[in-house]
Amino acid sequence: MDAERIAERPDELVVDLASWSRVDEIKESLHTLVSHHPPSHFGHCLRLSFMGRSVYFCSRCTGIYGGLAIGVGVMALAGITLGTTWEETWLWFLIALALGFSTVTDWVSQRLTSRKTTNFVRISTGLLSGFGLAIVFILGNLLYMLVTLAVMMLSVGLVGVIESRMYRHQDFDSDSEDE
d(CA 140, CA 148): 12
Q: How confident is the model at residue 121 (pLDDT cuts 50, 70, 90)?
A: very high
* 162 Cβ neighbours under 8 A, 6+ residues apart: 112
- The confidence score (pLDDT) of residue 170 equals 64
- The confidence score (pLDDT) of residue 130 equals 95
DSSP 8-class letter at 18? G
User: Strand, helix or coil at 53?
Assistant: strand
Whether 169 has a pLDDT exceeding 80, the answer reads: no
Mean pLDDT, to the nearest integer, of 137-147? 90
CB 117, CB 110: distance < 8 Å: yes
Q: Where are the domains of the chain?
A: 2-58, 59-178
- The confidence score (pLDDT) of residue 171 equals 56
CB 65, CB 130: distance < 8 Å: yes
- Average pLDDT of the chain is 80
- The confidence score (pLDDT) of residue 120 equals 94
Q: How confident is the model at residue 10 (pLDDT cuts 50, 70, 90)?
A: very low
- The confidence score (pLDDT) of residue 86 equals 79
- The confidence score (pLDDT) of residue 66 equals 95
CB 133, CB 67: distance < 8 Å: yes
Whether 178 has a pLDDT exceeding 80, the answer reads: no
CB 130, CB 59: distance < 8 Å: no
* 82 Cβ neighbours under 8 A, 6+ residues apart: 75, 88, 89, 92, 135, 138, 139
Segment 58-86, tens digit of pLDDT: 899 899 999 999 999 998 898 887 777 87
d(CA 52, CA 138): 40
